[in-house]
Amino acid sequence: MNNKSDLRKLFSSVRNGLSLSEKFEYDRRVFSNFINSSIFRDFEIFLVYISFKNEAKTTDLIKYLLEHSGKKVTVRLERGADIDAACGQLRGKSN
Query: In three state form, how does the secondary structure of the chain look?
Result: CCCHHHHHHHHHHHHHCCCHHHHHHHHHHHHHHHHCCHHHHHCCEEEECCCCCCCCCCHHHHHHHHHCCCCEEEECCCCCCCCCCCCCCCCCCCC
Q: pLDDT, tens digit, for every residue of 60-85?
A: 999 999 999 999 999 876 665 554 55
- In the chain, the percentage of residues whose pLDDT exceeds 70 is 79
Does residue 36 carry a pLDDT above 80?
yes
